Amino acid sequence: MNQVDTLRKSTIRKVTYRLLPYLFLLYVVAYIDRVNIGYASLEMNAALGISSAAFGFLSGIFFIGYFAFEIPSNILLHRFGASKWIARILISWGVVTVATVWVQNEYHLYVVRFLLGVAEAGFFPESFYI
């Protein structure tokens, strides 16, 4: 076995044990974050006075922000580097998620869900870039 093969195996081992568990955890959190609006709707719709049609739009507006900003997010990844840009994604994702606490009506929720999609845009493809 030559030195290149040893380096390659060492790199793959480090990525497997250090990076993949972290990315797996983030994917689980991302999935929970996307579907939590459905669980919250059981009591939230009545509390905020949201109709079923408004809730349907509310569920989809996340993906509008996500898809609209996925390509710009990937372009900015190349400009700033993967570690900085993924850190930006995670920080803004957390800030917007916490901001959901102060939602008082369905229009606030529209804005927060759209911003959540914008904040999370590019997370999936950018994690494969690493």
What does the pLDDT read at residue 129? 67
CA-to-CA dists, residue 101 to 9, 71, 85, angstroms: 46, 29, 25
Give the start-to-end residue ranges of the domains of the chain. 3-129
N-terminal to C-terminal alpha carbon distance within the chain: 27
**Residue with the larger pLDDT of the pair 89 and 19:** 89
Q: How many CB atoms lie within 10 A of CB 112?
A: 20
77, 122 Cβ separation under 8 angstroms: yes
What is the mean pLDDT of the segment spanning 13-33? 84
What is the mean pLDDT of the segment spanning 45-52? 83
What does the pLDDT read at residue 22? 84
pLDDT at 70 over 80: yes
Task: Please report which confidence band the pLDDT of residue 66 belongs to, taking 50, 70 and 90 as the band edges.
Answer: very high
User: What SS3 state is found at 93?
Assistant: helix
Among residues 90, 120, 95, 113, the alpha carbon closest in space to that of 41 is found at 113
Lookup result for tokens 């509310």: 58
pLDDT at 50 over 90: no
Task: Please report which confidence band the pLDDT of residue 83 belongs to, taking 50, 70 and 90 as the band edges.
Answer: confident
